[in-house]
Each structure stands twice: as C-alpha cells, then as structure tokens.
Amino acid sequence: MPITVNHVVISVSQGDITAWQGDMIVNASNSGLYGGGGVDGAIHRAGGPRIAEECAVIRQKQGGVLPGEAAVTSAGIMTFRGVIHTVGPIWKGGNAGEPMILANCYTNSLDLACAHEAHSIAFPNISTGIYNFPKELACKVALDSVIQYVRQRRIPGLPLQRIEFVCFERDNADLYKATLKTYS
C-alpha cells in the first residue's frame, strides 16, 4: 500500500525499472559511469548507446561521479525524461560511512529530479547487488532518507508527486512493503 507524505505518494513495486512508467529513473551506477551488470546493464541495454555516450561526456568533464553523488543523462530510446546515475557505496563492513553515502545517493538524486522538474521518480535498491550492502539496512536508509526529504520539502515548491521503489527481487519488494507501512 502506498503512503502519502506531504502530498507525495510513496510506493513499492516489484519488477524491471526500465519498464516503469514515470518521469525519471535512477541508475545504480559506478564511479566511472561505465555500464556494468545488474540494473546498470539493464538501463544501458534498454536505453541504447546514447546513454553511454552521454556518460562519457560527463566523465571527460568531471572525471566521473563520487559515491553518494549523482549525474543526469537522457534516457536514450526509453521514454523517461532522463536517467539519474548515482554511485552507491561498496559495503566494506559498515565502518566506512556506507549508510551516510547511501543516504546521499537518495537525497542527491531527489535534488536532481526536482531540478529537472520531474513529477515522478523510481529508485532501484541501490548498492544491494554487486556492492553487497545488507538489504535490511539499505531499506531503512532508503526509506528514512526519502521520507525525511519529502517531509522537509528541501526544495520550495517540490515538483515531485510520486516516488516509487522498484524492487527487482521478491524478498526486497516484501521487505520494502513491510517497512513502508511502519512510516504511515
């Protein structure tokens, strides 16, 4: 069941984020913005070569993207208004600031979505694949940071109306749905 916070509907679904319908999707990328496996591979495959070309331009301009930060490209041949590439932390045991870096991924992505006047945005479960971030903690960090962001409406006149967590795996979808309930 979705919840509504400050007029923003926050929901969870299970599936492939490239098939989601809305304004902008977030990619769990890497610091070099090189298309990789997991959700990154799926987004580059679905969007076509233009996304990688735009990632190369960002790389040339600013040398990549640091963990916790984010950058925008077009969505190539997908119909989204853009793709927000954020770089999650690689889990190193939890004492290297991983939760704060992961929270920054969510808030910086929301800042970019607002700057691009997006009305809706979908997030994958950043860092919980190859980067090995523990799933329960990642879920808490994701929901805490997104809900706190919406509560505080950090940007005046926040354009966002809908935020969805698109979980690829069934266990993550169940975890996010159960955890989201605790915020209502």
Question: By C-alpha distance, which of 11, 49, 42 is closest to 27?
Answer: 42
Which one of residues 80, 106, 123, 131 is an interface residue with ligand ADP (CB under 6 A)? Answer: 131
Segment interacting with ligand ADP (CB under 6 A) among 6-14, 96-104, 106-114, 120-128: 120-128
Binds ligand ADP by CB under 6 A, chosen from 99, 172, 175, 180 = 172
Task: Select the span of 62-70, 76-84, 112-120, 164-172 touching ligand ADP (CB under 6 A).
Answer: 164-172
Contact with ligand ADP (CB under 6 A) among 38, 144, 155, 177: 38
β-pairing, 162-167 vs 8-14, is parallel
Nearest-10 crossing angle of helices 135-152, 170-181: 40
The question of whether 40 is a catalytic residue gets the answer yes
Residues 115, 55 contacting (CB under 8 angstroms): no
How far is residue 84's CA from residue 78's CA, in Å, rounded to a whole number?
13
Q: Under the criterion CB under 6 A, does residue 39 sit at the interface with ligand ADP?
A: yes
Q: How far is the CB of 151 from ligand ADP (least distance, A)?
A: 25
53 lies in the binding site for ligand ADP (CB under 6 A) = no
Residue 18 CA to residue 162 CA, distance in Å, equals 17
